[in-house]
Amino acid sequence: MGTIRLTTAQALIKFLNQQYVHVDGQEFPFVEGIFNIFGHGNVLGIGQALEQDSGHLKVIQGKNEQGMAHAAIAYSKQMLRKKIYAITTSSGPGSANLVTAAGTALANNIPILLLPADTYATRQPDPVLQQVEQEHSIAITTNDALQPVSRYWDRITRPEQLMSSLIRAFEVMTDPAKAGPATICISQDVEGEAFDYDKKFFEKRVHYIDRKLPTDRELKGAAELIKASKKPLVVVGGGAKYSEAREVLIEFSERYNIPLVETQAGKSTVESSFNNNLGGLGITGTLAANKAAQQADLIIGVGTRFTDFATSSKTIFNFETTKFLNINVSRMQAYKLDAFPVVADAKTTFEALVLMLEGYESEFGDTITELKEEWLAERDRLSKVVFNRENFNPEIKNHFSQEVLNEYADVLNTELAQTTALIAINDTIDPDSIIICAAGSLPGDLQRLWHSNVPNTYHLEYGYSCMGYEVSGTLGLKLADPAKEVYTIVGDGSFLMLHSEFITAIQYNKKINVLLFDNSGYGCINNLQMDFGNGSYYCEFRTNENQILNIDYAKVAEGYGAKAYRANTVEELKAALEDAKKQDKSTLIEMKVLPKTMTDGYEGSWWNLGVPEVSNQEGVQKAYELKQQKLRNAKQY
């Protein structure tokens, strides 16, 4: 076969161009491109290799290492993990900025390839610029911080090590059960070192993503559990979306009258308009979904991790009478809640189960319709919240005094409620538009209120709930689906945390729409501290003189080159949304919204938090007593 002499970096880029995946009979390149911020650790190695021959890889210049990695995560998530972007950074702070993004990818089981530069393998110039030093080991570098947040991690200190490392990394990234970030740290001197690589290493390599079939034992056990139940409930998680199980879930639900409820990751697997879809489950769930969960005697988890938000900290289910059936490609996840595990692909499992339950029908009867109608009436009420300057409005959280709420209305010049704005947006943008969100009170409102009537148009990063993911992630959505309008729904706190790739979107003419909800503070956490008996403490954005900050975000966006709007009424908001659709460049709509106008918790939405056992505040004492009561009914494993 012969050899070819290449630098380590050149070999890396040549290899990336030859990686393909095969899914359900279709074959296509796995690596779409590479985000970069060049520094002294990678510009002369990977930078030179890309300049010389990038192949089919799309090369995008990022503005912040975390931001461009978030864009890559969102791209892979929206592509149902079938394609990825790689990310190259310099050493030191460049690689350290990847830690948050790697944690985000790991928590959500999203494959991305991180390529941070490392210090010198020879150690001759040590300590080099941006190198950390530890007395107990000279081998430790900044990149070691990426080990606990990577599904696969390696350090390349010789050119030939690249070959086995890359094969291992792609094995991990293309395995649905293990998918997550793969980190390959390449010593900066080694990036430029040459080696006679076997030409065979650079031949087209196809990674087969096969659907794992359930065993006969698993199918028989699952069918028996369902037939023995009276009120089974399906929890649709992210794994169901990645499996593309929409059609068979609808068939299963309709044929046997079994309701569906959703996690944040699973929402829009099945459209909201489906009659048996009761919406989000748990702490941020709908009243309909939570009531159904409390009635259920069998919970069928489909591709879900059963996080505390989905299970209301393990208090939403009646563990004395309820059994669990978990269908998941991950054996670890399938074992959760002491369930009967089916370690298999969701779509193929339901295709088999739907044929094994003939004659069965749940006892939910008309309850599914009644629960959904009750919730739709509540949603309609929340679409019309009106602020009252004279008396507390029952729709508004009663944490702030009337005087404080009036102060916000005066300073921000608005009476717009968050729920009213969200539903107006939902009613105005095109149904096939894609929305993205990650942190604050907005994910809760979205899981309850947002109607996704086209599959895979609801993109929530709630595995890590990473502030700053939203705007950068919207660029990833646009790269994944350039023909659709994409919208980030983001609070002012998250926008201030990180919106670097907004500029990248403008630079590359990738139109994104930023819908910025400004209540001048960390409103979600302010609610949390006050819900549990504390005062409002360092969560509002106020000056030393106690004045509410009123930032002109529209002017910031205009300075970047975006089309900006200010919308503090429903009429202004709808007009801005309609005009934004006509633009060919990125837009930002700034909405000043009143604090305390988000949705509150509904029945079954308790959250287990670290409430102080000792406090001189009566509200904190009551919150601790409630926690002890709830824990007595919670499952401990």
Position 389 scores a pLDDT of 87
pLDDT at 373: 97
194-198 vs 3-7, strand pairing mode: antiparallel
Residues β-bridged to residue 4: 197
Residue 243 and residue 190 share a domain: no
Q: What is the DSSP letter of 143?
A: G
Within-domain flag for 628 = no
Q: Per residue, what are the HEC states of 34-80? A: EEECCCCCCCCCHHHHHHHCCCCCEEEECCCHHHHHHHHHHHHHHCC
Residues 109 and 223 in one domain: no
Does the residue 159 lie in any domain?
Answer: yes
The mean pLDDT value for 203-213 works out to 97
d(CA 194, CA 160) in angstroms, rounded, equals 9
In total, how many domains does the chain have? Answer: 3
The DSSP secondary-structure symbol of 597 reads: -
Reference 609, options 502, 554, 527; nearest CA is 527
Q: Report the pLDDT value the prediction gives residue 398, as an integer from 0 to 100.
A: 72
CB 419 within 8 A of CB 596: no
The per-residue pLDDT for range 114-130, each reduced to its tens digit, is 999 999 999 999 899 99
| Euclidean distance between CA atoms 317 and 332, whole angstroms | 21
Is the pTM above the cut of 0.95?
Answer: yes
Where a domain ends, among 188, 208, 228? 208
Do 435 and 556 share a domain, yes or no?
A: yes
Please state, in angstroms and rounded to a whole number, the distance separating the CA atoms of residues 232 and 253. Answer: 10
Answer for the pair 239, 285: CB distance below 8 angstroms, yes or no.
Answer: no
Token reading at 615? 């406090």
Q: What is the CATH number of the domain that holds 300?
A: 3.40.50.1220
Residue 624 lies in a domain: no
| Half-sphere CA count of 270, side-chain side, radius 13 A | 30
Both 190 and 231 in one domain: the answer is no
* Residue 93: both structure tokens together: 């702070």
Does residue 637 surpass a pLDDT of 90? no
Do 545 and 514 belong together in one domain?
Answer: yes
Whether pLDDT at 210 is above 70: yes
374 exposed, middle or buried (CB, 10 Å; 0-12, 13-18, 19+)? Answer: middle
Sign of CA dihedral 517, 521, 522, 525: negative
Q: Within this chain, do residues 240 and 291 fall inside the same structural domain, yes or no? A: yes
What is the per-residue pLDDT across 477-515, written as a single tens digit (0 to 9) for each?
Answer: 999 999 999 999 999 999 999 999 999 999 999 999 999
- Region 156-180: what's the mean pLDDT? 98
CA 281 – CA 299 distance, rounded (Å)? 12
Q: What is the pLDDT of residues 434-457, one digit of tens each?
A: 999 999 999 999 999 999 999 999
Which domain does 163 fall in, by range? 3-208
Percent of the chain with pLDDT over 70: 100
- 563-566, strands of its sheet edge to edge: 458-460, 434-437, 486-491, 513-518, 587-592, 563-566
Lowest mean pLDDT among 130-134, 204-208, 253-257: 130-134
Residue 326, SS3? strand
Last residue of a domain, one of 138, 173, 208: 208
* Helix runs in 175-237, H state only: 188-191, 216-228
Split at pLDDT 50, 70, 90, the class of 394 is low
Tell whether 613 is covered by a domain.
no
Residue 601 lies in a domain: no
Does residue 155 sit in the same domain as residue 186? yes
Among the candidates 162, 191, 208, a domain finishes at 208
Residue 167 lies in a domain: yes
Q: Evaluate if residue 412 carries a pLDDT over 80.
A: yes
Tell me, yes or no, whether 239 and 185 share the same domain: no
Q: Are residues 505 and 565 in the same domain?
A: yes
pLDDT digits (tens, 9 = 90+) for 84-124: 999 999 999 999 999 999 999 999 999 999 999 999 999 99
Average pLDDT value for the chain = 96
What is the Cα gyration radius of the chain?
25
Peptide bond into 127 cis (omega under 30): yes
Res 1: pLDDT = 73
The pair of three-digit structure tokens given for residue 19, joined into one six-digit string: 């990686």
Q: What is the CATH number of the domain that holds 9?
A: 3.40.50.970
Give me the residues paired with residue 118 across strands: 187
Residue 296 inside a domain? The answer is yes
Together in a domain, 394 and 483 = yes
As a whole number, mean pLDDT of residues 321-329 equals 97
Residues 511 and 560 in one domain: yes
Q: Which amino acid appears at position 257 of this protein?
A: N
Residue tagged 């461009």 (tokens):
68
403, 341: one domain: no
In the sheet with 31-36, reading across from the earlier edge strand, the strands are 58-61, 31-36, 84-89, 112-118, 181-187, 152-156
**Position of tokens 């938000």?**
309
Please indicate, yes or no, if residue 626 is contained in any of the structural domains: no
